Amino acid sequence: MRILVTGGTGYIGSTAVEILRNKGYEISILDDCSTGHADCVPTGVRFIQGSLLNRSDIAAALQDTDAVMHFAGKSLVGESVEKPDLYHSVNVNGTRNLLDEMKIASVTKIVFSSSAATYGEPDVIPIPESASTNPTNPYGATKLGIDSMISRESKEQGISAVSLRYFNVAGALKSDRGWLAERHNPETHLIPNVLRSTQANPVKIFGNDWPTADGTCIRDYVHVIDLIDAHIKALESLAEGIHEIYNLGSGDGYSVRQVVAAASLAIGHEVPTIDSPRRAGDPAILIADINKAKVQLGWVPTRRINEMVADTLASFA
């Protein structure tokens, strides 16, 4: 079975490529390397360095493909506020192009990287898939728009689809070519930033007066290896004309200070931090209800925050 991995040179996509390859899947990658890294493409993998915005690149990448895992896209919340048109173009129009080319190539299966950002400020914690969707930034709006587009496509064209709404993805995977890990620039994710914190450039804690036990925001972190395991289960679950949506998190929350404590333990000294004002649009607590994925996909995440921190730290060496 050949899988097209869009965004296969990025953080999560490259991890998917590695795990799928080790399980015996044949892989094609479509990636323009705008935030990914061509050096993580393994030998023996078909790599089309091209864009979702170029339909002939997509058509070339789809040759002999049985299913698509669609990771490619723009994913920085702050950047999406500054450049909403870019986010609409790459994420929404790019996915429209992909779905149109899939139709031409008779590829009917897709697993899509959606996001918890589709929910916005939650009215219930933990957040189930049935929660209301009110994204608070253009990035979340593009992910919600794509989920709706895929739902329509599934009803009208009979495609088999799953959207996976990730919470915070963390950790790394050791491969025979070294660690596959977060190499975002700028890095906006907490765990790598906490681990890189120095006295000269301490990690910022945005708000210490949230209505949580230690006053800092609580988020749900899922290890990238557990996340890819869910993708494979989702792929195996695809059913004709059905679009399912699943949350992927750990079902547990960790405060910023708890993440800092885990990082301090891993490094062996206190991580320097600096208290900063709250950021606009940050909800106090985001925790996934992952029961649907547990029950319907048989997926159980097993890696805890200490492992996510330790693997990220090891990937720096």
Question: What is the spatial distance between Cα 136 and Cα 134, in angstroms, rounded to a whole number?
Answer: 6
Based on CB atoms, which residue is closest to ligand NAD, 140 or 207? 140
Q: Is 219 helix (H, G, I), strand (E, B) or coil?
A: strand
In the residue annotation, 87 being an active-site residue is answered as no
Which is the catalytic residue, given 139, 221, 246, 254? 139
Say if CB 245 and CB 147 are below 8 A apart: yes
Instruction: Name the site residues for ligand NAD (rule: CB under 6 A).
Output: 7, 9-13, 30-36, 51-53, 71-75, 90, 94, 113, 115, 166, 168-169, 184
Q: Least distance in Å: CB of 269 to ligand NAD?
A: 27
Pinpoint the alpha helices (H) of the chain: 11-22, 55-61, 77-82, 84-87, 94-104, 138-157, 190-195, 224-237, 256-267, 291-292, 305-316
Question: What is the spatial distance between Cα 254 and Cα 47, in angstroms, rounded to a whole number?
Answer: 37
Based on CB atoms, which residue is closest to ligand NAD, 11 or 210? 11
Q: Least distance in Å: CB of 201 to ligand NAD?
A: 22
Say if CB 19 and CB 232 are below 8 A apart: yes
Question: What is the spatial distance between Cα 198 and Cα 13, in angstroms, rounded to a whole number?
Answer: 30
Q: Least distance in Å: CB of 165 to ligand NAD?
A: 8
Based on CB atoms, which residue is closest to ligand NAD, 108 or 115? 115
Based on CB atoms, which residue is closest to ligand NAD, 241 or 281? 281
Based on CB atoms, which residue is closest to ligand NAD, 37 or 272? 37
Q: Least distance in Å: CB of 209 to ligand NAD?
A: 26
DSSP string, 25-70: -EEEEEE--SSS-GGGPPTTSEEEE--TT-HHHHHHHTTT-SEEEE
What is the number of other CB atoms lying within 10 angstroms of the CB of residue 93? 13
Q: Which residues are catalytic?
A: 139
